[in-house]
Amino acid sequence: MTFYDPARLARGSVGPSAERSNRRSADSESAASPESAEQSAADRRHMLEAIEWARRCPPSETAFSVGAVIVADGAVLSTGYSRETDAKVHAEEAALNKLDPDDPRLAAATIYSTLEPCSQRGTVTRSPCTDRILAAGIPRVVIAWREPSTFVTNCVGVEKLREHGVTVVELPDLAEAAMSMNRHLEL
């Protein structure tokens, strides 16, 4: 799509060479902004969806309500929320459990989780979500808020994911909405 600035057109500066230089500057901008603007709009949309799943969690006095959405190539592959399938299941776990672990789309997927994936859990027989995400080979994680020290003293989910080369994006302006269904807990 070529866009002619009317002011520029009026000045007569739109010719083959002006167009080339316009295009060059537009391209260098697009490397940074339109594509990432598109990505960040998609990130917000999917996080809001994850927040909606978090609202469905059966309430608990001993665990957070979290929602998760797994997306690849713009398509939602799976969703999950805390305590969806049993009393202990975590949102990311519930979403991952619905997919074949060998699903090739996971290699290009993003998992949206309203809360930082856990790095240790009370149910010791179950692996932490951080380990599950790494095992699934998901390269990108988007979260809205970091796990507070309510139930575990030091969650290192984000650090561990990054150490293993996973891109972690935080959307702090959606943290309030992501925390809203957890306000009965000490945050």
Active site residue 147: no
Cβ partners under 8 Å of residue 146, min gap 6:
115, 116, 155, 158, 170
129: contact with Zn ion by CB under 5 A: yes
Contact 134, 166 (CB under 8 A): yes
State the nearest-atom distance from the C-beta of 20 to Zn ion, in Å: 52
d(CA 1, CA 160): 42
136: contact with Zn ion by CB under 5 A: no
Q: Of the two residues 71 and 89, which places its CB atom closer to Zn ion in the complex?
A: 89
Q: Of the two residues 48 and 113, which places its CB atom closer to Zn ion in the complex?
A: 113
Chosen residue from 83, 90, 140, 160 binding Zn ion by CB under 5 A = 90
Chosen residue from 63, 69, 115, 118 binding Zn ion by CB under 5 A = 118
State the nearest-atom distance from the C-beta of 177 to Zn ion, in Å: 20
d(CA 100, CA 6): 53
Cα–Cα distances (Å) from 86 to 43, 54, 111, 149, in that order, read: 28, 15, 21, 24
Q: Of the two residues 129 and 179, which places its CB atom closer to Zn ion in the complex?
A: 129
Q: Angle between the 16-32 and 34-54 helix axes, to the nearest 10 degrees?
A: 30
Q: Of the two residues 40 and 127, which places its CB atom closer to Zn ion in the complex?
A: 127
Which range in 2-10, 52-60, 70-78, 87-95 contacts Zn ion by CB under 5 A?
87-95
Nearest to 9 by CA among 24, 27, 28, 22: 22
Catalytic residue among 35, 61, 92, 116: 92
Which positions lie near Zn ion, rule CB under 5 A? 90, 118, 129
